[in-house]
Amino acid sequence: MERVAAFFCPTDADRERLLELEETLRRPRVITYVAVAVTLAVLVPWTGWVVLLLVGVMAFLCEMVIRRRLVAGRTHPALVILVGFALNTVITGIGVAITGGAGSPLLPWMVIPIVSLAGRFDARGVWWGTGFVGLAIAVVVATSPSAFADNPAPAIAVLPLALSLGMFSAAMMRAERQQRTRSALDPLTGLLNRSSLPSRFGELAEQARLTGDSVALVALDIDRFKAINDTYGHARGDAVLRALAAAIRGELRSFELAYRLGGEEFLIVLPGVDLEHGAGVAERLRRRIAALRPDGLDVTASLGVSAAHGDAVELGALFDAADRALYAAKRGGRNRVEVAPPGDEARDGDGAPARPGARGR
């Protein structure tokens, strides 16, 4: 499952994009279901009630069961989306098969799911989905060889339709993805930037309220980074930041998020992780950074950890608690992890992380 999820959502930005656009696509998806249902109701004298019932079942499963799993805090949302896509294609194929197969007037509808792929995955996902739809069309056609032999034109004509939708969807996806990447990723480190933090954390907070799960934050600051820049220059300082970002990313699981807030400050969001396990992640990060020696330099980091669960998960409060713990680590001698006392996140949380670099470290 990890490999499949990584194939379709290889980076944090891909996963962020999928989750954000999935909600955006909900309205056009529902409108499409309604349009299809109304059309099938009109066509009942020719297609029967079974196909209309199948569409109703598909809409219920996709909207009320599969999509709800995203809100329930699934660690691999790409897999949930893929199951929904496959179910959509298979049920549509069944409807086409029982209304004439290769001669069904509904055959072109099998390409509709392709349109939604660009709103979720990159080019590899679009082409995978296009191939899956092509295979499904071939299977449907094979169920009615006599209809295909009598009139092969509808089945043949639908293939360039699927191909062109895949090509245009992939092209539009690439353009949108390039724009999103420029706005959502830190150009130096490749980590997420602070602008994408509030919206994603809002989703995690809602999941925590529904499930009662924990969310942990780790605030990380490179020790004496200004001295590195002053002594060795900004080029080597940038090399340190890139190496540190790679180390952070390598220590996290695919659904855990790393942000560069600015300068030498980073924030790590750990969904489903309590305070004890968050402290363990922070300690592993501290050790890995201390052993890293990026560009031949000895570098250490100080880290502060906070966590909350359920209704108490709130970005500003958790960040303030992690930030206080980080400063305790600085005061305690640096190159260490400090944990916010349980309940500390309830103090002074007003909504969002403060401006990075506002206080010297």
**285-309 tens-digit pLDDT:** 999 999 998 888 999 999 999 999 9
Report angle CA 175, 116, 113 to the nearest 5 degrees: 140
Q: What is the pLDDT of residues 85-108, one digit of tens each?
A: 888 888 889 999 999 899 898 999
Q: Report, at the CATH architecture level, how domain 192-346 is classified.
A: 2-Layer Sandwich (3.30)
As to burial, measured by CB atoms within 10 angstroms (0-12 exposed, 13-18 middle, 19+ buried), residue 97 is: buried
CA angle 306, 2, 57 (to 5 degrees): 100
pLDDT of 170? 75
Query: Which is more confident, 350 or 63?
Result: 63
Mean pLDDT score of the chain: 83
**Per-residue pLDDT for 174 more than 60?**
yes
The model's pLDDT over 9-39, given as tens digits with 9 standing for 90+, comes to 776 667 767 777 777 777 887 888 888 889 9
- Can you point out the beta strands (E) in 297-350? 301-309, 337-339
Q: Are 81 and 18 in contact (CB under 8 A)?
A: yes
Query: Do 335 and 312 meet the contact criterion of CB atoms below 8 Å apart?
Result: no
Residue 309's closest CA among 214, 210, 207? 214
Q: What are the structural domain ranges in the chain?
A: 2-184, 192-346
Q: How many CA atoms lie within 13 A of 276 on its CB side?
A: 0
pLDDT at residue 72, rounded to an integer: 44
Amino acid 78 reads A
Indicate whether 74 pLDDT > 60. no
- In this structure, the dihedral spanned by the alpha carbons of residues 73, 78, 84 and 90, taken in order and rounded to 10 degrees, is -150
Tell me, rounded to whole angstroms, the distance of Cα 222 from its chain centroid.
Answer: 28
Measured distance between the N- and C-terminal CA atoms of the chain, rounded to whole angstroms: 41
Query: What percentage of residues in the chain have a pLDDT greater than 70?
Result: 84
Higher-confidence position of 344 and 114: 114
Q: 338-348 burial, b if ≥16 CB within 10 A, otherwise e?
A: bbbeeebbeee
The predicted model scores a pTM of 0.55
The pLDDT tens digits of the residues spanning 305-331 come to: 999 999 999 999 999 999 999 999 999
